[in-house]
Structure formats: structure tokens, C-alpha cells
Structure 1
């Protein structure tokens, strides 16, 4: 099911994760309970996108207000590299996902042993390889443990990761154990691979609750994750679209699309220049200033580097709370290094130069972000797999809904176009100069979204994926 409506909903990129989330809601759990269960299942069955070796961000609307949490990891204190390649062992930063699980204990109602049980069973007893995992494995080679676990596996084959199941059991008792006892085994394995990681890099790490960035777009109040996330880039792009008035033209208008691409390039130029870890560099406050953005709209667009990556995002609504949750390794299978059943990220490849140069205990500029928009009794959450493309994806889906009269499921399914730096790709022949990739391609990202209006939700899983949206209408 691509979309679903009901009083409680869940939409993820994987049918098993959606099923588990729906069962938690059906059993009386809230959206945060379901999010933990979904996140853990995705960590097992979609290990190319995310997992305990990766990071996460959360943006949620609750009766008490908006909650935003940044669980992106920092580089080892002993990092010496000046430039970090995509599969470089120095690209591994301390993974923050389990810290996000730990933070959510403040909001959950069920014991973590219960919430992580489905993921533990899948890791221990085995799961079937899905299409996207099969595609990621094909032609890929990681370290020895990765090859022993995933090497040669094809669609529908069974994979078991008992070491991961064991760690999940420990985490279910105390999420903080991942950083204070499990980390000893993980660091030992990472150092054998050549990483400068120390146990203290784990034990000292904690994510942080952050104040979301805000802006407006055509009567909607927008929220995004602040730096080191690129969420500000989404808000910049949407504000420049509004200032320019380009969406007064039709959806498929060639000039609109051409100008949208130019505005994207301007937003990415600012991102590459200014977005970094605010603990090391004060990100300018003028980036969302309307006078500044008006001047930017009249600028000549640059060419900016735009890279792909692999991520998974999901949404859950329980009638009171709406949760957007994104987790990632960065590139497919991250660094390619697997230790004790945990596939480790390559987020350090996000370091560049200047304010975003590599430094110990610093977080790289981060592609993960989540867009929340609200107006009157209406709330919309949009997130995706899409790496550097995420600001464009978030903006286009919201524009489809707000400006072009599409329902949220239509806004997700509509053909997208993406600026890639050296070219522009599109899913349909909608403008001169675009490279058509054929209708509905995961090259333009995979979106999950949710709309709440009154007391009813509509949740959407992108038809470009194996995703499923499920409604829950009653408790058992």
C-alpha cells in the first residue's frame, strides 16, 4: 500500500518495519514506541541504509511542542587526516543512532526489551534479502566480516546476523551500554581495521536536543534541523522559490524548472560555504534573512558538487504525536567495515575544507534533515533517502502540495527533477536540457510523508521503493 489514512499510521521504506510499527500502535504503544521498534527493524533488514553503526535525527510534534534531536556522531579525538575518502577508515565517526534511542526513553511507554524484540528475532533467526538490499550487495565488497555476512547474497536469500542480535539484546536492557561496554568490543575491531577510534570517543559521546530552524512558506510555518544538518538549505530554497514567484507558472513549465534548478545551485553554494558543526564554527544568522535571500535570487548560480547516498526515513502518528525519524550510514553500507555484526558509517567523508574541515570530536556537515510544515489544524512531515539531494526533494514535495493542488500522496508520487551539479535529471520529459531517467526512479530520492488534518492522518510510502504505509484503527 503506497498511502493509507486512519487515526494512527506508520509509513516506512520496508514492509517488515511498517508491520512491526503498526503492531506496536495496535498494542497501545505511542508513536515514540513504534519509532524505536521501526528504527531497530530497519537497522537489521536494511543494513545498507542505516543501523547501529550510523546516526539519526528526529523531528516530532507533540502536545508540548516541537521536539528536535541531533544524534550525528563526532570524529575520533585522534583523527589526523586532512582529506577523507568515501571508503576511508578515517571516515568512521562515533555512531549516534543508539543515543537517539536512549533519548527517547523520556517519551516511550513500553520497555525496550519488548520494542527491540522483533529486530532481535530478525537478526538472530534471519530475514530475507529485499530488492534494495540485493541491489546494494551486488558487486560490493567490504571487509572480511562484511563479505562473510553479505557476500554473494541475492534477493530472497536468508541472512542471519547473530552478533548484531546479541548487541541488540544488551541495548534493549540499557541503550547507554552501547557506548559504555559494547563499545570496547567495537573499538577493538575498528582499531584492527586501522581506525584511530578510542573507547573514550564512544563513552564521552552524547547527541543533543536542538532548537529547530523556522521559516515561512505561503502561510505555512516550516521547521527543519539546524546545522550541522543541511536543513537550512531546504528553508533557503523554499524561501527563494517564494520570493521569485516561479511557482505561479504551471508545474511542467520549462522556465519554472530552469529557475528552480538555478535557485537550488545558490542554496547549495551557501551550504558548502557556511554549514558546519556550530560547536566549532558560528553559522551565519543571515542565511534565512529575507533581504539576503532577495539578493541571492538575483545572483548568477554557481556549479556545486552534489553527491548521492543511502538513508532511510519513516513517519509515525498516534493521534497526539507526529514523528519524523531519519537514520543513515551515508553511502550504501557506509565505510564497508563491519565489526561484531555492526556496519559502520562513512560520515567523515562529509568533511570538506574551511569551517567544515576534519577535526577531532567534530561533526561533519550532515545531509540528514526533516521538514515539518504546519498551518491551522494541518501538519505535514516530509523526509527521504536522498543525501545531498534532500533539500530539493523536500522542497519539491512541499511545493507540489502547497502550490500545485496535489494531495500529499500525489505530491510524493509526482515526477521529480534534480540538480546534480554537472547535470539535471528528471523522471519525465518536462523541460529542455534535462536527462530523462524514466518515470519513478530512486535516483531522485525515496520519500515517506505524513499529513494530519483534524483528527485524520494520511501517510505515504514512496512508490519508488519497497515502502508500505499502514493504518491502525483500533487497539487489540
Structure 2
């Protein structure tokens, strides 16, 4: 400051400072005005959207720019789409710890151009084998008695050891890699190990979620040693990483290095498994070494429903993918294109279809090893017509309830999709469930374990009731679109109960209203919350219909007149995170889309 005064003189310095202050004020005013202006102009396409990204030799769409680049680098090194998807998922577990990581579960759909088949993998983990329903209920009652839970708390606690199920992600990586991988796993995981050790810049949306997570955990575990591991891993000194800060996770680097060198058994049977089991040993409830050692995911067959000449494929329960199929099975009975996409009629039919499908979901969807699920009946055209007949076109149906199909014998997640030059396409979704997860961070391992077990019911006789060694109801669902037996689009839309209704909105936008792959994701969405729940803890049957600000005031008022409880939410938080890759076989190119509500990008080659 003294040097500046000598050079410019006091008067000149004051003039300079005033000019700087004026410039800052002008910038603030410009910023405020820009926020009010809305979308700018575009020479082609919708003014409120961006262009899709095009490529021909490979593509990756993820929720983080660096993860997309990691995937593209793996493709350029000769890796398959599966190699690249694993590499991107590992990177996201480091860079987006608010939504996913190796402490969670994974579901995958792979299109294999050699066999011309879709393959599905259910990488969800099971509940502790050494804990019965009665023991679990007794532990919950003891927590209430100690004042650790409110007396009126229903269900399994969202955080702590009782909500933790075996993490299935690492097993899923190795299962799909064994079948479709080309590069060794140490090469696939190397980019993330380097980023974890050396650091990477935090992106804005993830910084926002980290701030929310620290506010929650610092209160939840204020007097608990669990907070120490959370703080030491992500919030050193109680400080929340901000956008642009360089963040490193050396503990996770060491964990991933062990997995890269010693394979899946390092996580499920080796030192990592023992460390996790030792961490839970002093606690009431929680996983034991046996739970890790005996874990295996499974290959499953995706199922489909035809809509407007296309086939949407989803994985069968214990996930909620069939809810999207049921919604389409209902909606195929009405021509939505007779109205405009932003009309009250289109929203009304989609919301009512969602409510009907979710009632069935709450009643029937569970681990098929423990429950008889009327799979064929739920997806039958006749059943879709029966459910459609319950929709009143002019008003909300108060309480729709589940149906009787024939028996034929705020979640956080990451979704990514990758395609390679040989035509292999991967649809992958991975999650820790609620926020960052359970709050359980095993000593020195650099990741948090999921709280997926919260989604069990405690009601005896319920299809989704807690049992030892059982997989809970799952929200995360990858999707794949086909036409005439050929691949069209690998896509997904992350975010708890938003996912099936998000899948349907994307397809309606594209197939009924002609939007391109990016416009379909940027368009304003709805999210309906309410009704019967898979946990048995039911909500208001009518529920709340959340809309984004892009929905017109006229549509909002007409929906309210129909009986919908409408709320406008401009945060983007409720409405999920979309990524997609669409194949144009005639032109020989891919078109990719990414979510405007996240930090992600599409990287193409």
C-alpha cells in the first residue's frame, strides 16, 4: 500500500479505490439483471437448452468434468466402455462423495455389440446375517430409551450401524470387468488413485452438498467419535471445501490401490474387510466379517415395456425400475402429444400414472429371493389398461391404492454412461443412498458406508420386511432404450423416488414431443412425493407435486384446480441428475447430454 501511494499519490489512490468500488457495484448490478433476463438466444434448438455433444469413437457423460475426462482417457488407452465406466465411477466416488462411493451399491446395464444382448448386474448388498428382525427392533427400542431417537420414530434409523448393508460396488466393478473389460484393473483405477493422492479442484454443486452434509453430521454426531472420522476425511479442522479448493483423500488412495493390486477379495475377504468388521465390532448391530466374505452380486435380465415403438429396459426388483415401466404401460393408453408439453393435461396424466405405479411398488417390490413378485403381471398391457382406467382426466383421484396384478409363477446418487468405438454402451448408477451415507467411516479407509438398510420395512409379513441376509428395496436404477432389437440410448436420472418419474419425463419429452437428447433433460420437470412407501411408513395419499419455475403460471393454476397440491421449487435439488448417450446408427455417431442441475459434462472423442 505504501509503495502504491508513493507511485500514484494519495489523490490518485483514492480515485482508483473509488473506481474499483464502482466497478464492483456495476458488476453486482449486471449480475442481478442477468439473473432476471432468462434464457438468451440460440440459432438452433430451444432457447432454454444447449446443444448435445457429438462424437463418433467414444463418449462419456458423468456428473463431474474430470470423471468424464478420466473415462475418455481410458477409452483412448484401448479400454472398453466398461473399463471407462469403472474408472469414471471410481473418480466420482472421490470427487462426488456426497452421492456415491465404494461404500455403496451399484446397478449396471451393458449393451454388448458382439452378442447383441443387454446384460444387467444387480450389485446390491444384504443385511447382516447375524441380526434378526426381533434383535433389530430391540436395538431400535433401546436407542429410544437412551434418547438417541425420538419416541415416535418409525422405521430403521437413517444413520448409524443399523442402516448399513454390505456395499456391493467393488464386487460389481470386478464382475462386469471380468466379462467385458480389456485393461487391467490397476490401470483402470490409476487415474483416481492419482487424484486422491495429489488432489483435484472441488466443483460448485458438490461444494454446496458438502456444506449441507457437514452441517448435518456436525449436529448429528456432535458428541460422538464418529464425527472424528468424517471430519478427518472430508472436513479437516471443521472446514468445508469450497468451489475451486484442491481436495485430496490419501486414505481412499491407499484403499483403491489395495483393490487395484489384490482384486475384489482385498475388499471382501482381505485386510479391508477385516478393518470394516473391526470398526463395527464394538457397536450394537452392524456388519461382521462373514457378511463381507459371503457377498456376491448377480447377473439379471433387464425387462421392458414398449412405448411409441421403442422399448424401455429396466432391471427387476429389488430396485424400482419397474415403476418407470409401469408408468409407461399406463401412459401408452393416452396420446399425450394432443396437448402441448407444458400443459396441465400432460402433467396430470404423468403424475397420476406415477401415483398408481408407486402404490404397486410399495406393495410388491422387494428382494425376489424372499418375496413372490408378480413380475409379468405388473408389466402386462391389460394391467396397464386397468390402472389407466382409474385416472380421472379432470381431477386428482384421492387415494388410488395398489392393484391386483396376476402372479405368474431426499436419496443422493450418481449416474454415468459410456460408449466406445465398438458400440458397447454402459448405463451405470451408484449410490450411498441418503446424502453421503450412514455416517459410518471405517478408520483410515477414506469412504463412508451406505445407509440403504433404512429402506427395509419393520412390518412382519410385508414383502420388504427386514430379514437377515436380505437385500433392501432399492431406489437406484439405470435405463436403456432399444428399437427393433438395436440400441438407441443409454440413460439415467439419479435421485431417490425421482428416478422412475424422471425416466418417463425424459422419454415423453423425446418420443412424444420431439426434443433432442439435451433438451429432454433441460426441460422443466415435476417430482411427485407422497403415497404408500416400501418401508410401510406411508405418506399423504395425495402427496405434493413439486414443479420447477419453467412450468407456466397457467399450468400451475390449472393443476391446482384439478386438486394437485402444487409447490414451486427453484433449487434443482429435488429433480435429479440426468446423463445420456444416444446412438445414431445411420450416421455412425453418438449424441451426449448432461445435467444442467449438476456440475457434469460430456466428453467425446
Please state which band the TM-score falls in when normalised by the shorter chain. Answer: over 0.9
Q: What pairs with 1:188-227 in structure 2 (closer than 5 Å)? A: 188-227=278-317
Q: Whose Rg is larger?
A: 2
Query: Is 1:318 the equivalent of 2:420?
Result: yes
Q: 2:526 matched to which residue of 1?
A: 417
CA offset digits 1:322-370 (Å, max 9, x no partner)? 1011000001111011112121100001112411011111011100112
What is the deviation of 1:158?
3.2
**Does residue 18 of the first structure (1) align with residue 73 of the second (2)?**
no
Match of residue 435, structure 1, among 552, 563, 567? 567
- Deviation of 1:105 after TM superposition, in Å, equals 2.2
| Equivalent of 1:282 in 368, 372, 376 | 372
1:179 equivalent in structure 2:
268
Give the structure 2 partner of residue 460 of structure 1: 593
Query: How far apart are the structure 2 equivalents of 1:117 and 1:448?
Result: 24
1:389 matched to 2:498 = yes
How far apart, in 2, do the equivalents of 1:383 and 1:302 lie?
A: 29
Question: How much has 1:78 moved relative to structure 2?
Answer: 2.0
Answer yes or no: is the 8 Å Cα contact 2:305–2:328 preserved in 1: no
Answer whether contact 1:12 1:448 (CA < 8 A) is retained: yes
The 1-side partners of 2:70 and 2:269 are apart by: 29
TM value normalised by structure 1: 0.95
Q: Distance in 1 between matches of 2:307 and 2:249?
A: 45
Q: CA deviation at 1:111?
A: 0.9
Question: 1:137, 1:196 → 2: CA distance?
Answer: 25
1:149 partnered with 2:233:
yes
Match of 1:302 among 395, 399, 402: 399
In structure 2, how many angstroms separate the alpha carbons of the residues matched to 1:230 and 1:184? Answer: 32
> Which structure is richer in relative contact order (CA contacts within 8 A, separation 6 or more)?
1
Quick one: distance in 1 between partners of 2:275 and 2:315?
32
TM-score normalised to the size of structure 2? Answer: 0.75
2:206 to 121, 124, 133: 133
Q: Contact 2:111 / 2:487 at 8 angstroms: preserved in 1?
A: no
Of stretches 58-67 and 194-203 in structure 1, the one that deviates more from structure 2 is 194-203
From the two aligned structures, give the one with the greater strand fraction.
Answer: 1
Conserved in 2, the CA contact under 8 Å of 1:77 and 1:360?
Answer: yes
C-alpha separation in 2, matches of 1:429 and 1:401: 18
> 1:61: how far off?
0.9
Q: Which runs of 5+ in 1 are unaligned?
A: none
- Residues 230 and 368 of structure 1 are in contact (CA less than 8 Å); yes or no, is this contact kept in structure 2? yes
SS of residue paired to 1:397: helix
| Aligned with residue 439 of structure 2, among 327, 330, 336 | 336
- Does 1:258 find its partner at 2:348? yes
| 2: CA distance, partners of 1:233 / 1:333 | 25
Q: Structure 2 regions of 5+ residues with no counterpart? A: 1-49, 138-154, 391-396, 402-409, 531-542, 561-565
- Cα 1:235–1:105 change in 2 (3 A) is same
The farther-off stretch of 264-273 and 417-426 is 417-426
Residue 120 (structure 1) aligns with? 193
Q: Distance in 2 between matches of 1:30 and 1:192?
A: 43
* Contact 1:265–1:301 (8 Å) recurs in 2: no
Task: State how far apart, in whole Å, the 2-side matches of 1:227 and 1:109 are.
Answer: 30
Deviations 1:69-91 (A, max 9, x none): 00011011123324312114211
Aligned residues between the structures = 469
Instruction: Tell me the CA shift for residue 165 of structure 1.
Output: 1.2
* Partner of residue 161 from structure 1, selected from 237, 240, 249: 249
Q: Give 1:27 shift.
A: 1.9
